[in-house]
Structures are given as C-alpha cells and as structure tokens.
Structure 1
Amino acid sequence: MFEKIKKSWHRKTTRAKAKRVLSNQPIHNEGVVNLHCLDTDNVGDLFCAPHNYFDKLNNTGVDLRDYYVTHDNRNEHYLNDLLQKQLIVGGGGLLNRNAFQFAIDLFEHLADRGKKTVLWGLGHNSKNTFEFGKITAYSTDVSKFGLVGTRDYSMPGEYVPCVSCMHELFDKSYEVTDEIGIIFHRDTIQKNDLVNKFADYPCTSNTTNLEELLNFIGSKESLITDSYHAMYWSMLLGKKVAVVPNSSKFYDFKYKPVFTNFESALSDLKNAEAYSGILEECRTLNTGFYEKVGNYLNL
C-alpha cells in the first residue's frame, strides 16, 4: 500500500512540474528531438522511430515518458529538450491510449505555443474491445501539429506507415523452412497454457532482437501473431498473416490480415492473403515524408 501511494505521489508531482515548466518558460525551435516509447523489451517500440534510419536524426531519440524519470536528471534533460528543440513524435501506438495521453497533451500544449512539431507514423492503440475496428477519431486534435503522418490508413493525417520498413534487414533474402510460425506478444508469451497449445510449431516473441525476429519471419510461409509489428513485418516480407488483435491498432493498416483468435487461428490462417509490393510502397511513403520533415524543420 505504501509503495502504491508513493508511486501515485511521484506521478502527480512529476506531471505537475512538467506542466509548470512547459507553460511558464520560453520555447525555442533549435535542433530536433525524436520522442517515442523507447522500450528495449519490445522490438517494435524500439525500431519504430525515424532517428534509427535517417542520418540527420541520429542520436535524437528520447523516451517520451522521461518526464517521470528523476534519476540521472533525465526528467530535467527531457523538459529542456522540449523547451529548446523541435519535436518529432513517433512512431508507435501512442494515440487513444491512457498510458501516453499525458505526454501527448504536453506536445499539443507546446504546439499551441508555437513549438514546431511533427507526428510521424503514430497510430491509435485502444485496449477497449468495443472500439476494435470502430475508431473514427484520435484522442488529440492532430490538426494542431505542424506536420502529421499517421500509420492508420482511414484516419486524419497523411498516411505514413511505420518507418521500420526502412531497416536494411528487409533487403535480405530468406529461405523458407517452415509452413507456420507463431509470434507472441511479450505479455502473451508468459501464458504457459497458451504457448503449450502451439508446442508443435516454431514460436518466438516480440522480446527478441530484430535480426532474430526477421530471420524467424523470413523462414516461415505463414504467421500467427498478436504483435502489431510482427504483423507489419510479416506483410512487408510477403507472408500470409493471421492476427489475434489485442488493441484497435491492428484494424487500420492499409492491407488486411485475417482476424482470428488463438482457438481458431490455425484453421483461419488458410484464408490469409500474401501481398506483394508493400515494402516498396511503405519505403516510398516514408522517404517522401522525410523530405517534407526536412523542409519543415530546416534539417
């Protein structure tokens, strides 16, 4: 109980400080910082940000939750970055998600104050099952930001799929050795009963490194997954995909997987379609958007 109260107090005080500092101090637009969920335990979150792929954005990555982290003065550096630098926010499922809403609200407030801000490859990520396939509005008004590219095909903003398509590992040739593979989300991989259900099939999770995961995908003809980026990367490599959705984010990619559940996934997988040309399309959209970002931010 004491730890719960302590965390609640810490959350309130760090949020109050962030609001106060970003409301009362002057802002500038010098340099750039790329804010995303820099999560080393989720390979999709780790590689969904443009600072990984464009030279002029090297070494600009910052975890958008660092307003909360007080050790090593990380929250001080974070607030200074937000005050001084131009912002690139994304990618990842940062919208319509309570865990990220405070940070998104900070960025919107700064945009209102004249902060030059780019949204790049963001998407909605509601865990409310009643909203799956039914999202029609974002949790923030994206028109308030200077340049907007979202990974959701039917939503506001220019369509810009996840920038991870730019990774050089997608240029490799992969030999198919298995018909079916299973890729679990980091939460699902901990459910032993579920994992055991697929004991006869090669399995991995989105907690592995990118090279290992793409090697796994590349060696399969078809994939079953509840990870967004496993779905996306499988489609980039021309695989058939059946998705077990755990969030609204799966429903707004331009190309559709087969939607299923873990009980029916193996039988539903036969209805999945392998698309071609997605990698090239996604790369073209991201390189075109980068040119717009460069012009807008004077990179």
Structure 2
Amino acid sequence: MKSIINYHVIDPTNIGDLFSAPTKYFSFPGYTVEQADIRTINVDEIRDKHIIVGGGGLLYSPFLDSFAKLIESKAHTKLIAWGIGQQAYGTSGKIQKLENFDYSQYLKNFDLVGIRDFNHKYNWVPCSSCMHPGFDKKREIKHEFVVFSHKKFQIKIGDFPHLTNNNQDIEEILDFLGSGETILTSSYHGAYWGTLLGRRVLSFPFSSKFSTLKHPTGIFPIQKWFQNKFKLSIFNRTLLEIHYKNKFSCKIDNWQHYLKDCKSYPESLSENRERNHWYYSQILDTLADT
C-alpha cells in the first residue's frame, strides 16, 4: 500500500498547530497516512512516500532546511503544499510586512501548491481547520468583547473575558470566541476562527501572516512588541532585571478607534470549506498520475 506523510509542526501547546493538519479532515483511500513534525525529517525514511506539507505558517525561515530536505527526497512521489502560509517577524519587536515575500525558495519542485495567503499567484487554499465540525454549532453572543491572546504575545484590555491559545480544547475555544460580538486577538487562528464563526475581529498582529487573510479583520497598528521583564529596584537603583524570552506586550492606546474596520463575513465558513474540498479533488487527481 502506498504511503502519505503529512508534515507540519506538532506542538501540543499551540491549538492552531494541533488542528490545522489537513489529513485530520480528509481521507485517502488506498494509502496509509501518518502525521509527522516538519522539524524532525529523516530523508531516508520518506523517499518512496508522497508528502503533504500543511498546515500552519510553515513558510518561515527556520523551516528552510526542512523544505530543502523534502525537495532532496523527491523522486517518483508527489510533493504537495496544502494551506501553508508566510510569516515574518521584524527586528526589535517591530512587525514586518512582506508584500513581496519570496515563496519560490520554499516551493520549488512542488507538484501542487495551495497556500492560505490570499491574492498571490498560487492557489488560495485556506487553513483546513475550517473543516472541524465544531464550527457547525450555533453559539449565543454573551459579551460585547472577548480577548483571545497568543500565549507569547498577550494583550491586556479592560476586564473582558480572556483566554489564550495555550488551551488544547478546540470546542472550548470556539465556544469562547463565539460568545463575543467582537473578538480582540493576537492569535492568527483566533482571527481566522472568529471570522469563520461570523464574528467581528480586531487583530493585534505580531507577524506578516495577519495581513494575508481573504476575509480581512480590523488591524490595530502595533508599532512594536516589547519583551516583558522583571525589575527589582531600590532607591531608583536597579538591582536585578530579568527579561522573559517568550513573553511580549504592546501599547494598546485608542484601540476602540479601529473597531470601525471590523466586519463580519457570514459566507466565510462555507467559502473556506468549499475551497478545501476543491483542493482535495485536485490532490486526488495529482496522486492518480503516479
């Protein structure tokens, strides 16, 4: 029996990584299917297997070596990208916008390419997490605002209900997002899933990926994320200062001004799902050629 490996990031502390793999939602009759972490590729073990790369923000410089290994291993099998996207971080906490992102350095020699970034030369194929059945549940709005933070880039706004993407229960997260009329979020999947639920979203971005959605959210123009630190001082003299490596915060003055840019897209769920079904049929045709 032929084999397919779905490479993505398997991070149990990141809900987006856990539920973005397309092989969670689509079957491949006649193939054995496994998921594997793109950060730990063994070239010798994959030479005779078809590869699907997705999902998540895998078009990111730390993964270039992994993409090179996948391309190196390509022989008589297919190499397919499904719903992956760019992300780039600036220096000193500043957000980098990449309108001219170089996709080719990652995607050369791929047999079929679908990226979640809209309005580029490749097929637009949104993150396959839209296929999760949890989106079909009707949810009552209970709060004017809810805050859903990325675990590393947390936003503190008022006394609104707050949750982070460190939670591993997608049903709980969708219930939380759906309880808000407007979602304030620094999480890409918080923005994406909130949109799929038909809610208005204001994003507080930390990388370029927030500007790649087909159904754009409102964007709070963060100038810089600051590394959190603990400081011990006596009589204005600093005795100890510790910087937290993976904890950042930002200034959020006048965030209400940007709510005017927030829209809801009732059609987004069906449109995203239809596009994934379309791409699935393209993949089956591509695999049939082998």
TM-score, scaled relative to structure 2: 0.81
State the partner residue of 2:64: 101
Q: CA deviation at 1:281?
A: 0.4
> Is the 8 Å Cα contact of residues 163 and 286 (structure 1) preserved in structure 2?
yes
How big is each residue's C-alpha offset from its partner over 1:48-97, in whole Å with a ceiling of 9 and x where there is no partner?
11111113388511111124xxxxxxxxxx444422310000111111x2
> How do residues 200-279 of structure 1 correspond to structure 2 at under 5 angstroms?
200-208=159-167, 209-260=169-220, 261=222, 262-279=252-269
* More displaced 10-residue stretch of structure 1: 151-160 or 265-274: 265-274
Tell me, what secondary structure is at the counterpart of 2:105? coil
State the partner residue of 1:175: 140
| Residue identity opposite 1:186 in structure 2 | K
| Residue identity opposite 1:202 in structure 2 | P
Looking at structure 1, the residues matched to 144 and 285 of structure 2 have their Cα atoms a distance apart, in angstroms, of 45
Instruction: Identify, as 1 or 2, the structure richer in helix.
Output: 1
State the partner residue of 1:5: none
Q: CA deviation at 1:169?
A: 0.2
From the superposition, tell whether residues 66 and 36 of structure 1 become closer, same or farther in structure 2 (CA, over 3 Å): same
Looking at structure 2, the residues matched to 271 and 125 of structure 1 have their Cα atoms a distance apart, in angstroms, of 23
From the superposition, tell whether residues 53 and 153 of structure 1 become closer, same or farther in structure 2 (CA, over 3 Å): same
State the partner residue of 1:163: 128
TM-score, scaled relative to structure 1: 0.79
Looking at structure 1, the residues matched to 106 and 183 of structure 2 have their Cα atoms a distance apart, in angstroms, of 35
Looking at structure 1, the residues matched to 174 and 274 of structure 2 have their Cα atoms a distance apart, in angstroms, of 21
Q: CA deviation at 1:175?
A: 0.8
> Is the 8 Å Cα contact of residues 142 and 156 (structure 1) preserved in structure 2?
no
> How do residues 94-133 of structure 1 correspond to structure 2 at under 5 angstroms?
94-95=58-59, 97-111=60-74, 113-128=75-90, 129=94, 131-133=96-98
Instruction: Identify, as 1 or 2, the structure richer in strand.
Output: 2
Moved over 4 A (4+): none
Is the counterpart of residue 293 in structure 1 residue 283 in structure 2?
Answer: yes
State the partner residue of 1:280: 270
> Is the 8 Å Cα contact of residues 142 and 157 (structure 1) preserved in structure 2?
no
Q: CA deviation at 1:199?
A: 4.5
Aligned-pair identity in percent equals 33
State the partner residue of 1:49: 21
2:115 to 150, 159, 168: 150
